[in-house]
Structure 1
Amino acid sequence: MAQPVQQQYLQKRCSAEQAAAVIQSGDTVFMGEFAQNVEAVDAALALRKSQLKDVILVTTTRAKPLKCVEADPQRESFIWNDWHFSGLGRKNGELGLASYIPLCYHQGPQNVELYEEPNVAVVQVAPMDANGFFNFSTSCSMTPSYCRKAKKVIVEVNPNHPRCLGGLDESIHISKVSMVVEGPNSPLLQLPAAQGSEADRRIAGHVMALLEDGSTIQLGIGALPNIVGEMIAQSELKDLGVHTEMLADSYVDMYEAGRITGQRKSIDRGKMVYTFAMGSQKLYDFLDNNPVAAIFPASYTNDPAVIGRNPKVVAINNAIEIDLFTQVASESAGPRQISGTGGQLDFIMGAYKSEGGKGLICINSTFKKKDGTIGSRIVPTLSAGTIVTCPRSVVHYIVTEYGVAQMKAKSTWQRAEALIAIAHPDFRDQLIKDAEALGVWRRSNKSV
Structure 2
Amino acid sequence: MKKGENSLKEYAQKLLTAEEAVKVVKSGDWVAYSHFVMFPETLDRALAMRKGELKEVKVKTSTGMHPAQVAIMDPEKESFIYHSSFFSHSDRQLGDRKLAFHIPGNYWEEVPRLYQGYTARPNVAMLKTTPMDQNGFFNFGTSCSFTHATAKMADTVIIEVNKNVPYCLGGKDEKIHISEVDYIVEGDHQPLLTLPEVTASEEDQKIASLIVEEIEDGSCLQLGIGGIPNAVGKIIADSDVKDLGCHSEMLADAYVDLYEKGKMTGAKKTTDRYKMVYTFAMGSEKLYQFMDNNPVCAAYPVDYTNDYQVIASNERVVSINNALQVDLFGQICSESQGYRHISGTGGQLDFTIGAMLSRGGKGFICLKSTRVRQGQLISRIVPTVEGIITVPRSLAFYVVTEYGKVLIKGKTTWEIAEAIISIAHPEFRDELVEQAQIMGIWTRTNKKI
The two structures share one fold, judged by TM-score above 0.5: yes
Please give the residue correspondences for 1:216-227 in structure 2 after superposition, counting only pairs within 5 Å: 216-227=220-231
Which of 316, 324, 332 is the aligned partner of 2:328?
Answer: 324
Query: Are positions 1:249 and 2:249 aligned together?
Result: no
Question: Tell me, what secondary structure is at the counterpart of 2:314?
Answer: coil
Cα displacement (A) at 1:426:
1.6
Give the residue type in structure 2 aligned to 1:241.
G
Query: Are positions 1:100 and 2:102 aligned together?
Result: yes
Q: Deviations over 1:238-269 (max 9, x none)?
A: 00000001111111111000010001000000
Question: Tell me, what secondary structure is at the counterpart of 2:10?
Answer: helix
8 Å Cα contact 1:113-1:149 kept in structure 2: no
Question: Tell me, what secondary structure is at the counterpart of 1:51?
Answer: coil
Aligned to 1:211: 215
Query: Are positions 1:134 and 2:135 aligned together?
Result: no
Question: Tell me, what secondary structure is at the counterpart of 1:21?
Answer: helix
8 Å Cα contact 2:86-2:343 kept in structure 1: yes
Question: Tell me, what secondary structure is at the counterpart of 2:38?
Answer: coil
Which of 182, 185, 195 is the aligned partner of 1:191?
Answer: 195
Give the residue type in structure 2 aligned to 1:242.
C
Aligned to 1:13: 15
Give the residue type in structure 2 aligned to 1:98.
A
Aligned to 2:357: 353
For the residues of structure 1 that align with 2:132 and 2:373, how far apart are their CA atoms? 51
Which of 361, 377, 380 is the aligned partner of 1:377?
Answer: 380
Give the residue type in structure 2 aligned to 1:321.
Q
8 Å Cα contact 2:52-2:78 kept in structure 1: no
For the residues of structure 2 that align with 1:43 and 1:366, how far apart are their CA atoms? 40
Q: Deviations over 1:367-415 (max 9, x none)?
A: 1121x231211111122xx100000000010111111111111110010
Aligned to 2:158: 154
Q: Deviations over 1:258-307 (max 9, x none)?
A: 01000100000000000000011100000000000001111011111110
Which of 337, 341, 346 is the aligned partner of 2:341?
Answer: 337
Please give the residue correspondences for 1:23-422 in structure 2 after superposition, counting only pairs within 5 Å: 23-109=25-111, 110-114=113-117, 115-370=119-374, 372-383=375-386, 386-422=387-423
Cα displacement (A) at 1:3:
7.8
Q: Runs (4+) of structure 1 moved beyond 2 Å?
A: 112-116
For the residues of structure 2 that align with 1:411 and 1:40, how far apart are their CA atoms? 54
CA RMSD of aligned residues (A): 1.2
Give the residue type in structure 1 aligned to 2:65.
A
Q: What number of residue pairs does the alignment pair up?
A: 445
For the residues of structure 2 that align with 1:435 and 1:311, how far apart are their CA atoms? 37
8 Å Cα contact 1:193-1:226 kept in structure 2: no
Counting aligned pairs with the same residue, the percent is 52
Give the residue type in structure 1 aligned to 2:345.
T
Cα displacement (A) at 1:233:
1.6
TM-score by length of 1: 0.98
Cα displacement (A) at 1:195:
2.1
For the residues of structure 2 that align with 1:128 and 1:262, how far apart are their CA atoms? 31
Query: Are positions 1:447 and 2:433 aligned together?
Result: no
Question: Tell me, what secondary structure is at the counterpart of 1:446?
Answer: coil
TM-score by length of 2: 0.97
Q: Deviations over 1:203-242 (max 9, x none)?
A: 0000110100000000111111111111112222100000
Give the residue type in structure 1 aligned to 2:114.
N
8 Å Cα contact 1:125-1:156 kept in structure 2: yes
Question: Tell me, what secondary structure is at the counterpart of 2:24?
Answer: coil
User: Higher mean Cα deviation, 230-239 or 299-308?
Assistant: 230-239
1:328 to 1:258, Cα distance in 2 relative to 1, 3 A: same
Extract unaligned runs of 5+ from structure 2.
none
Give the residue type in structure 2 aligned to 1:76.
E
Give the residue type in structure 2 aligned to 1:441.
W
8 Å Cα contact 2:72-2:99 kept in structure 1: no
For the residues of structure 1 that align with 2:431 and 2:84, how far apart are their CA atoms? 39
